[in-house]
Amino acid sequence: MSRFNPIAIARALRRLGLMGIGQRNADYVLMHNQRKFYPRVDDKLITKKLALAAGLPVPELYAVVREEHEIAALHQRLEGREQFVVKPAHGSGGDGILVITGRRGQSYRRANGDLMARGEFAHHLSNGLSGLFSLGGQPDHLLVEYCVQFDPIFDQVSFRGVPDIRIIVFFGYPVMAMIRLPTRLSDGKANLHQGAIGVGIDLPSGITRRGVWGTELIREHPDTEHSIVGLQIPHWQHLLQMAASCYELSGLGYVGVDFVLDRTRGPLILELNARPGLAIQMANGNGLLHRLHAVERLHAAGALDADPQARARFARDNFPA
């Protein structure tokens, strides 16, 4: 019987460059993310305004709801719009996001096909304002924005919801990427903890390499049975450059940048995250540490590039899957 050898396991993890939560928090989040800049990423409205000021594309904002009395007027403001998304400004993990894909009479049709009466719609928004879906449970405001129509390349590898792309950026250098694909289990949400698939992306080429679903390595979408490997992500070089630009936008040294790809509007910045998760390592079959250390060596030598395009080029040249 083989014995559990913690030293051997630690050495194996070190060789792979896998980073744990404790190290992420101590050496990267706390070390390189000043708290004064957190509102830039924790408040989606601030993120959207900063991105627009920097010339970076985001989903169009239709309305902001800050008070209970504004809910009734929202119905009129949204007349003529068949599709839209409501999300809490300080939400996390997709909680509280309401995707409306159509109408029937006075009711709204949700992404899962269910009808939502006006009273139920108002109740959901009221819960959002009260902070039910927000970080820390504090009262919040709500964004009503354009409903993304995802790129047709994802038609066969997504269940109902909109896939999104996560790129982790360190000192402005993209270091790792994945696409999150909604499933039946995740109820159409691109949330790995709720059952979405994480698929690693090769940084130089933008081609998907392998997928992880929970603890299972997969090559096909469990609902559509289509291959999730070998997909060429559209606009890939532009996505890397946009991600690199979010260093200046956010002021954060270590940040996750989430994108969606719209079939007509192209890449759109969805949100930023000051504490990006580590499942991206499993999706790529590779650890973050070796790549982070490469950027740290540039920083120590005073060789960080000020040009986002050059930083994206460095990532393509040095960080293959």
pLDDT digits (tens, 9 = 90+) for 53-102: 999 999 999 999 999 999 999 988 999 899 999 999 999 878 899 999 99
| Whether the model pTM is above 0.85 | yes
Q: At residue 95, what is the residue type? A: D
> What letter does residue 160 receive in the DSSP assignment?
S
Parse the chain into domains and list their residue ranges. 17-56+151-318, 61-145
When pLDDT is averaged across residues 138-143 and rounded to a whole number, the result is 96
Interatomic CA distance for residues 218 and 110, integer angstroms = 29
The answer on pLDDT for 3 being more than 70 is: no
- Write down the pLDDT at residue 125: 97
The mean per-residue pLDDT over the stretch 297-309 comes to 98
pLDDT given for residue 11 in this prediction = 67
* Predicted local distance difference test score (pLDDT) of residue 92: 81
Record the tokens describing residue 197, joined without a space.
Answer: 């698939």
Three-state DSSP state, 1: coil
Mean pLDDT of 246-272: 98
Structure confidence by residue, pLDDT tens digits, 158-169: 998 899 999 999
> Which 3 state secondary structure label does DSSP give 112?
coil
pLDDT (0 to 100) of residue 187: 86
Q: 5-19: per-residue pLDDT in tens?
A: 655 655 666 778 999
- The sheet carrying 254-262 orders its strands as 216-218, 208-213, 197-201, 173-181, 164-170, 254-262, 266-273
DSSP state of 270: E
Return mean pLDDT, the chain.
94
Burial of 21 (C-beta count, 10 Å sphere; 0-12/13-18/19+): exposed
pLDDT-derived band at 2 (thresholds 50, 70, 90) equals very low
CATH 2.30.30.110: does it fit domain 17-56+151-318? no
pLDDT of residue 13: 61
Residue 261 contacts residue 165 (beta carbons within 8 Å)? yes
How much is the pLDDT for 10? 57
pLDDT exceeds 50 at position 43 = yes
Per-residue pLDDT reduced to its tens digit, 181-202: 999 999 888 999 999 999 999 9
Predicted pLDDT of residue 188: 86
Model confidence at 273: pLDDT above 80? yes
